[in-house]
């Protein structure tokens, strides 16, 4: 058994499941919202899907990504950004459907895009390192 490989799910699977859950939540919520919809909630499934696309492409381009510390940091930044933007979008949708607003929602977007920017910087550094090798 010592030679058996540790099983790994495909990278994209978790993101697709998250996007599906977002879509299902939106559908269920709309059933109780008397036809009131919000573009923020309707589009929140895009964030995990976009994150999955970015991470999958990076892993495909740089297979060593999963093993290196910088690679794991990149994935953490992308995941964190996706979590913040999805949650912010969900909350924005909930308050919009209720007919109100909250100034406390903007930090989700600010931090989300900041993490996404940090992921981009990390990805550029990873790319440069690969070229040098």
For other proteins, the binding residues (CB under 8 A) are 32, 34-39, 76, 80, 83-84, 87, 91, 94-105, 107
Q: Which of 12, 87, 74 is nearest to 49 (CA)?
A: 12
Q: How far is the CB of 6 from other proteins (least distance, A)?
A: 14
In the complex, least distance from residue 37 CB atom to other proteins, rounded to whole angstroms: 5
The one-character DSSP state at 68 is: S
For residues 27, 107, 70, 64, the Cα torsion angle rounded to the nearest 10 degrees is 10
Distance, CA of 116 to CA of 80 (rounded, Å): 8
- Retrieve residue 59's tokens: 């892993």
The least distance separating other proteins from the CB of residue 131, rounded to whole angstroms, comes to 29
Query: Given the complex with other proteins, which of 32 and 131 has the nearer CB atom?
Result: 32
Residue 126 beta carbon to other proteins: minimum distance, rounded to whole angstroms: 19
| CA atoms of 57 and 65, how far apart (whole Å) | 11
Backbone angles phi, psi at 42, to 5 degrees: -60, -25
Nearer to other proteins, 68 or 102 (CB): 102
Nearer to other proteins among residue 36 and residue 57 (C-beta):
36
Residue closer to other proteins, measured from CB, 37 or 66 = 37
């Amino acid at each position: 058994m010592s030679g058996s490989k540790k099983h790994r799910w495909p990278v994209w699977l978790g993101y697709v499941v998250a996007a599906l859950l977002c879509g299902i939540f939106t559908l269920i919520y709309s059933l109780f919202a008397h036809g009131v919809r919000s573009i923020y909630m309707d589009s929140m499934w895009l964030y995990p899907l976009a994150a999955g696309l970015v991470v999958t492409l990076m892993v495909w381009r740089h297979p060593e990504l999963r093993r290196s510390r910088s690679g794991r940091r990149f994935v953490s930044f992308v995941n964190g950004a996706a979590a913040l933007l999805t949650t912010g979008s969900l909350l924005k949708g909930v308050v919009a459907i209720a007919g109100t607003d909250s100034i406390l929602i903007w930090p989700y977007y600010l931090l989300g895009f900041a993490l996404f920017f940090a992921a981009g910087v990390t990805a550029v550094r990873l790319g440069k390192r690969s070229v040098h090798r």
